[in-house]
Amino acid sequence: MGSAAVDIPHPFDPLTLGEIDTAISIVKKAHGDIFFNVVSLQEPRKAEMTAWLADPDTAPRPKRVAEVVVIAPGGKVYDGLVDLAETKITKWDFLDGEQPIITMEELQLVEHIVRKDPRVIEQCVISGIAPEDMDKVYCDPWTIGYDERFGSTVRLQQALMYYRPDIDNCQYQYPLDFCPIYDADKGEIVAIDIPKVRRPLSQAPALDYHPAAVEKRGGYRTDLKPINITQPEGVSFRMAGREIAWQNWNFHIGFNYREGIILNNITFNDKGTVRPIFYRLSLAEMVVPYGNPEHPHHRKHALDQGEYGAGYMANSLSLGCDCKGAIHYLDAHFPTRAGGLRTIENAICIHEEDAGILFKHTDFRDDSVIVTRGRKLVIQQIFTAANYEYVVAWIFHQDGTIQPEIKLTGILNTYAMDPDEDTRGWGTQVYPGVNAHNHQHLFCLRVDANVDGPDNTVFVSDAVPSDAPVGSPENYYGNGFYNRRTKLATTGEAATDYSGATSRTWEIANTNRLNPFSRKPVSYKLVSREVPGLLPKEGSLVWKRAPFARHAVHVTPYKDDQLYPAGTHVPQTSGDTPLGLEAWIGAGKESVDNTDVVLWHTFGLTHFPSPEDFPVMPAEPMTLLLRPRNFFAGNPVMDVPPSFVRVPSQVLKEEREGGEMGMENGGGCWEGVVRDGVSRLAFSGEGQGEGEGERNGGCCKR
Amino acid sequence: MGSAAVDIPHPFDPLTLGEIDTAISIVKKAHGDIFFNVVSLQEPRKAEMTAWLADPDTAPRPKRVAEVVVIAPGGKVYDGLVDLAETKITKWDFLDGEQPIITMEELQLVEHIVRKDPRVIEQCVISGIAPEDMDKVYCDPWTIGYDERFGSTVRLQQALMYYRPDIDNCQYQYPLDFCPIYDADKGEIVAIDIPKVRRPLSQAPALDYHPAAVEKRGGYRTDLKPINITQPEGVSFRMAGREIAWQNWNFHIGFNYREGIILNNITFNDKGTVRPIFYRLSLAEMVVPYGNPEHPHHRKHALDQGEYGAGYMANSLSLGCDCKGAIHYLDAHFPTRAGGLRTIENAICIHEEDAGILFKHTDFRDDSVIVTRGRKLVIQQIFTAANYEYVVAWIFHQDGTIQPEIKLTGILNTYAMDPDEDTRGWGTQVYPGVNAHNHQHLFCLRVDANVDGPDNTVFVSDAVPSDAPVGSPENYYGNGFYNRRTKLATTGEAATDYSGATSRTWEIANTNRLNPFSRKPVSYKLVSREVPGLLPKEGSLVWKRAPFARHAVHVTPYKDDQLYPAGTHVPQTSGDTPLGLEAWIGAGKESVDNTDVVLWHTFGLTHFPSPEDFPVMPAEPMTLLLRPRNFFAGNPVMDVPPSFVRVPSQVLKEEREGGEMGMENGGGCWEGVVRDGVSRLAFSGEGQGEGEGERNGGCCKR
């Protein structure tokens, strides 16, 4: 049995090492040696959880239950639940023809098999690699996705093949043109997809980003001076376990193998009233479809979270590299395949950043001014999905805005091409012999809404001109325009697409509560502009397997266990049977009007690679906002101390008392203003030492 | 005559104080006492300028010429040029029926007149204001825009009226319901627009953001700990006059009364080759149409740059408030109305910021990793257009991306409403008695392209599915998609709208130069997602006066003096005669294929106010990117020193030498890595002092 936790975990806390160990022991005892794919917290049942949150002293504490997914000998997959308090298995279902998530350990195995397989060696030789160089052959194993030749009963991976002549080379510059298929149960290569036209190994010189290569090209640039970010008085947030309090925000930071960061019970203290906003926020799924229709590239579409897990693939983060300033880290704990324990240290980093100007206004009459700087809180993780890295940040602003932000970096997935080959528009030659295929990154944000309570309604909100023509009495000068709001009353109606032409947003409203001034329902608005839509066609394999990507927004009534919009067990689904969102929505008749709703938002970008992206990509950010609209009865950040303020009465007083000096004499910070004593002129002629006091600095000098 | 400049100005430099003074003296000598609206650098003729830039030692230096716009007695407007070297007037045109830009001094006059006007006092009394309280009556004077009752020969302002019972109150919470019209030539109120239904002065208590009001509500929050940003070794950029060199970038920073910041001759040093990218970037115009069609609100549409000037309205910026860190400032010099000189100190701030992760990749096999932090350079100004503030930042990234960013803050323009009045969808009651009308902020980015030389071509770029149906041999699995590029060959074809459905971007390409790997034309791509389109209808007054806002993109062949897309003299244009872009484009037959082109991009947002925005708005950002695509032959930032790197060969060595320790022993920074010695754990139990060395910090510890 594992070590006992000193504190009782919060019901939203991920399973502790001890709890994981307990669950494993119970399962092993009942079922013997077995491979563990998942041992993870079952989300507390919402009814129990909300009762407990409302009254933690009296209401029953929600049970700690472990979801367990295992692969038993013979490739038999079981999906179970373990009640941790009662130390018993309460569910144990055999999954017939379903494949659970692929763990990092399963992925790691394939390369060793591939290197020894005679048929693979034969193909490598055809490509131009000597048999004794097989240690320089690498593969990125992906789930096969779906291939109708094999179906879903055999657990398969496809091995995307590369050659790496030097261990420090960027592997993706020497892709090989064939694709072995690995049977996980047999532990062997069962097929190789070989293209009709062969492409021998590229002979281009290596283009690398590692230090020795950079040194060879002339070395690193030496003209970047350090920017230091320090918080001498510490951070402005407090942690109680995994609950964070920062400014008016309060929420719980969870983490699981699949979604990575999970934010629960997000509330905002509105002048003493703690108002619920979201019950749960997470990235619930993603899909990266590639746009080359030639066999077998159609299989390249990664549902990375369901297939590999944003938690399982999380990086261990380091100070001053992944984040700067004063950082708090949280670890992540998982089972190993054999039933041991593993910890990803520093899987989550939490820190504050200066956010630029929060608000400012100058009166043009007298130059009286207020300027207040903003602050943001960032909850961040990074995960590596083979070639790509995803930097996922949940940014909280003081004004009530939540801003999920994703940065893409890492390396393009690549395929071999001949020097004179036409990519036919399906990809770009980013380097000689390297074809990077068109692809999309589509993420599904799951918003379990709780805007002033669970009963919410989603409206689509469009900016449209007045219907009345120019010259008509209602719109004589033609300038009339308004906000057209359309209620999404059923799950069917709620399947909606983005409209750039109308600057479409979606409002998550509580129609039971009106703003006292605007008399509109209190709401949070989803403002998202990177909404490309799924490019694989209706009826395509990707379209079938990733139902969440068919529309920008879906809305469903909340149900326990409806967490994963492409289904619970994603590898090797065909999509022929409705899965996830498609299954839940069905005929689309269910009401989502004034009830506990979940909004699913698919956003992302379409990437047509170019040589700038190679051999490693400068980070490309995308972001969206969840903004309070008609939620507060006024600007909620007026209590943030200003950096500089000079009110009209001061200007007047100075003018009267200062005579000729007028307003040019500057000066006059309001008492209590937050002075920045460390900013300096760039070329003041003096060293910009730290802690120099306010000489040449300070906010009162202009 | 003015003081002689010590240094010869760069041809792109704004006029010096001495040059402004010279121009004024010459004009005064020739034309007597006169009001000066504009004394500003005439842009160097491009042919002369490019010849000089190519060969500054031999080619003739472009002339310094002042553009002068004056109002002579009787309201007569003249538009002239003064050759500063030859000290002579080379052009002096009478403008019949055109109104030049309104200066801050002209705006300031109106309030004094309004307060004394008996008919205005009468209306104030009707609103409920005692005649002895007229010193508490304020107005925001706007150009009338266009009103067919008055035409454009009389210089007019409309006075948006407010009551401010306490000088420190937010003025916009007590709007008055009538609108006096001011004749600048007569210096008096010539009409008052009075609504049919009267709205007496609001009796709501004041809601203020000034410190005394915040103190009364309980005071400022005290839980924000300082974040200090310091550059102990100084900044990483160099200035030579107004030319800046930073990383591989080099450009000139200009400024004028109208566009504010102007960036000229932007080049990127690509491994020793200085490659031109943009000849000139600026915000050339903007329009803020309001959406209430009721008289006289249809007149509320501010073409702020042409009507008042983003330079004239610039804030004087202060250290640690508007920017943090090590800041370099540039001043702006303008004439006064009477022919004196005025300086806005610190009109531009220039500084660097940490930009988060520039690139990162981890090999999942061995946890070998590289993480490199990015840096950005920010050239920023802020201008106050009566109620609103616009924070305009030109952000340069190391990877060749230029990111114009605008933040909106300040205060909503408001109008009076009765407590029970229906806003009819044209506005929102943001506070009792305060109706904030729907509006848009549309900005016109002028991109004078120079991508590897002046001959450029613009393509519209859409992400579209393969035409072949699912199941067809060409697209069997339905996943095919590609980048459809459409050449915009003429000015008519180039008038194009945004398409969210196809993630539309625009490529500014040099078709004469192909990327060596992708074999696609070198290009810069305009990636812009906040592109709402003009909501006032076709044929509306706004549509006529702001031709740039009719489409997201226009392209014109470069011509000297085609700078301002809503016309040169904007106040009181009717739009009935083609102006600016509309006049230049005409029938749309002119070629923009492989020639010196200018791209005009209109972007922005639509704002349906809500109480959160009142009485002062938390800043709302919008941004776009100009990104190199197929421009470089590889990632251009591989020479930025990494924060952490551990290559596979190191991991292998550690595994071999460290035996059981394996990769868990961490450590092993590559020599020469840039260490961040100041980042700290948030709750390390030790004071996070500055300069503590690398205890608990440094990038090598995980």
For residue B254, pLDDT beyond 60: yes
Helices (H), B463-531: 491-494
pLDDT at residue A674 in the model? 60
Answer positive or negative: Cα dihedral of B403, B404, B410, B411: negative
A608 touches A438 (CB < 8 A) = yes
pLDDT of A3? 40
Nearest-neighbour CA in chain B from A637: distance (Å)? 8
Residue in chain A lying closest to B171 (CA): A363
List chain A residues with CB under 8 Å of B549: none
Q: How many CB atoms lie within 10 A of CB A202?
A: 22
d(CA A504, CA A497): 9
CB environment B50-60: b (16+ within 10 A), e (fewer):
bebbeeeeeee
Residue B672 pLDDT? 54
Q: What digits encode the pLDDT tens for the residues B499-523?
A: 999 999 999 999 999 999 999 999 9
B319, A679: Cβ pair inside 8 Å? yes
Sole residue written with tokens 């050759």: B83
Catalytic residue among B304, B322, B366, B593: B304
Homologous superfamily of the B237-290+301-412+438-470+479-629 domain (CATH): Copper amine oxidase, catalytic domain (2.70.98.20)
Task: Give me the pLDDT at residue B685, please.
Answer: 56
Alpha carbon distance B118, A130 (integer Å): 99
CATH of domain B17-93: 3.10.450.40
Question: To the nearest whole percent, how much of chain B has pLDDT over 70?
Answer: 94
| Chain A residue numbers touching B539 (CB-CB < 8 A) | 470, 478
- The DSSP-derived string for A259-312 is TEEEEEEEEEEETTEEEEEEEEEEEEEEEEEB---STTGGG-EE-HHHHT-TTT
- Using CB atoms within 10 Å of the CB of residue B14, give its burial: 0 to 12 exposed, 13 to 18 middle, 19+ buried: buried
Tokens 């004028």 correspond to B256
Q: What CATH topology corresponds to A283-290+301-412+438-455+490-629?
A: Beta-galactosidase; Chain A, domain 5 (2.70.98)
Residue where the block lists tokens 């039933």: A339
From the list B209, B499, B652, the residue facing A167 with the nearest CB is: B652
Tell me the domain boundaries of chain B: 17-93, 237-290+301-412+438-470+479-629
Angle formed by the axes of helices A104-116 and A118-127, nearest 10°: 70
Q: Does the CB of B685 have a partner CB in chain A at under 8 Å?
A: no
Dig out the tokens for A543 from the structure: 């379209």
Q: What is the pLDDT of residue B5?
A: 43
**For residues B166-176, average pLDDT:** 97
Q: Which residues pair with B327 in a beta bridge?
A: A681
User: CB under 8 Å to A29, separation ≥6 — which residues?
Assistant: none
CATH (one of 3.40.50.150, 3.40.190.10, 3.40.50.2000, 3.10.450.40) for A17-95: 3.10.450.40
The residue-averaged pLDDT of A410-427 equals: 95
At residue A675, the pLDDT reads 66
Residue in the structure block whose two tokens are 């229709």 = A293
Average pLDDT on B377-390 reads: 98
Helices (H), B217-308: 304-307
- Higher-pLDDT residue of B660, B437: B437
Angle at B591 between CA B587 and CA B596, to 5 degrees: 125
The distance in angstroms from the start CA to the end CA of chain B is: 65
Given pLDDT bands bounded at 50, 70 and 90, which one contains residue B352?
Answer: very high
pLDDT at B673: 61
Please state, in angstroms and rounded to a whole number, the distance separating the CA atoms of residues B214 and B222: 13
Q: Is the pLDDT of residue A5 over 60?
A: no
Q: Does the pLDDT value for residue B699 go beyond 70?
A: no
CATH architecture of A104-216: Roll (3.10)
Region A10-32: what's the mean pLDDT?
Answer: 98
Residue A18 has pLDDT above 50, yes or no: yes
CA atoms in the 13 A half-sphere facing the CB of A481: 27
The Cα B496–Cα B478 span in angstroms is 29
Q: Distance (Å, rounded) from C-alpha A317 to C-alpha A312?
A: 14
* DSSP 8-state secondary structure symbol assigned to residue A141: E
Find out whether A654 and A663 touch, Cβ atoms under 8 Å.
yes
CB contacts under 8 A, A 8-27 vs B, are none
User: What share of chain A has pLDDT > 70, as a percent?
Assistant: 94
| Contact call for A479 and B542, based on CB within 8 A | yes
User: Beta strand B644-646 with A680-681: parallel, antiparallel or unpaired?
Assistant: unpaired
User: How many Å from the N-terminal Cα to the C-terminal Cα in chain A?
Assistant: 65
Catalytic (active site) residue B388: yes
**Whether pLDDT at A690 is above 80:** no
Token pair belonging to A556:
């469903």
**Nearest to A668, CA basis, from A646, A698, A695, A636:** A646
* Average pLDDT of chain A to the nearest whole number: 93
Q: Which residues pair with B378 in a beta bridge?
A: B351, B395
DSSP state of B288: E
Same fold, A104-216 and A283-290+301-412+438-455+490-629: no
**pLDDT for the residue A685:** 56
User: CA–CA separation, B26 vs B35, rounded Å?
Assistant: 14
Which of chain B's residues have a Cβ under 8 Å away from the Cβ of A354? 227, 229, 324
DSSP label at A576? S
Residue B550 in this model has a pLDDT that exceeds 80: yes
Q: How many CB pairs under 8 A join A and B?
A: 658
Which tokens hold the place of B410? Answer: 């300040």
How far, in Å, CA of B457 to CA of B555, rounded? 9
Of A543, A610, A649, the CB nearest to B518: A610
Residues of B in contact with A697 (CB under 8 A): 319-320
Percent of chain B topping pLDDT 90: 91
Give the pLDDT of residue B675. 67
pLDDT of residue B587 exceeding 90: yes
Phi, psi dihedrals of residue B606, rounded to the nearest 5°: -105, 130
Cα torsion B320, B322, B325, B326: sign: negative
Give the residue-averaged pLDDT of A527-545: 97
Tell me the residues of chain B between 345 and 364 that have a Cβ less than 8 Å away from chain A: 345-346, 350-354, 356-364
Q: What is the pLDDT of residues B646-683, one digit of tens each?
A: 999 999 998 888 743 333 334 445 555 666 788 899 98
> Which tens digits make up the pLDDT trace of A192-248?
999 999 999 999 999 999 999 999 999 999 999 999 999 999 999 999 999 999 999
With a cut of 50, say whether residue B450 has pLDDT above it: yes
Least CB-CB distance to A236: which of B225, B617, B642? B225
Does position B475 have pLDDT exceeding 80, yes or no? yes
CB atoms within 10 A of CB B272: 6
Output the six-digit token pair for B219: 């005071």
**pLDDT digit string (tens) for B605-642?**
999 999 999 999 999 999 999 999 999 999 999 999 99
- β-pair type (A249-256, A260-270): antiparallel
A-proximal residues of B, 274-303, CB under 8 Å: 289-293, 295, 298, 301
Q: What is the pLDDT of residue A692?
A: 36
Q: Which two tokens stand for residue A24?
A: 């494993």
What per-residue confidence (pLDDT) applies to A655? Answer: 85
Q: What secondary structure does DSSP assign to A39-93, as a single string? A: EEEPPPPHHHHHHHHH-TTTSPPPPPEEEEEEEETTTEEEEEEEETTTTEEEEEE
Render pLDDT for A348-407 as a digit per residue (tens, 0 to 9).
Answer: 999 999 999 999 999 999 999 999 999 999 999 999 999 999 999 999 999 999 999 999
Instruction: Evaluate if residue A548 carries a pLDDT over 70.
Output: yes
> Nearest by CB to A629, which of B322, B389, B612?
B612
Tell whether the model's pLDDT for residue A474 goes beyond 80. yes
pLDDT tens-digit readout, B264-283: 999 999 999 999 999 999 99
SS3 category, A600:
strand
Residues of A with catalytic annotation?
304, 388
pLDDT in tens, B191-208: 999 999 999 999 999 999
What number is the ipTM of this complex?
Answer: 0.95
Tokens linked to B567: 């016309």
- Which residues in chain B are contacts of A421 at CB distance < 8 A? none
Instruction: Tell me which residue of B531, B539, B600 sits closest to B566, measured CA to CA.
Output: B600
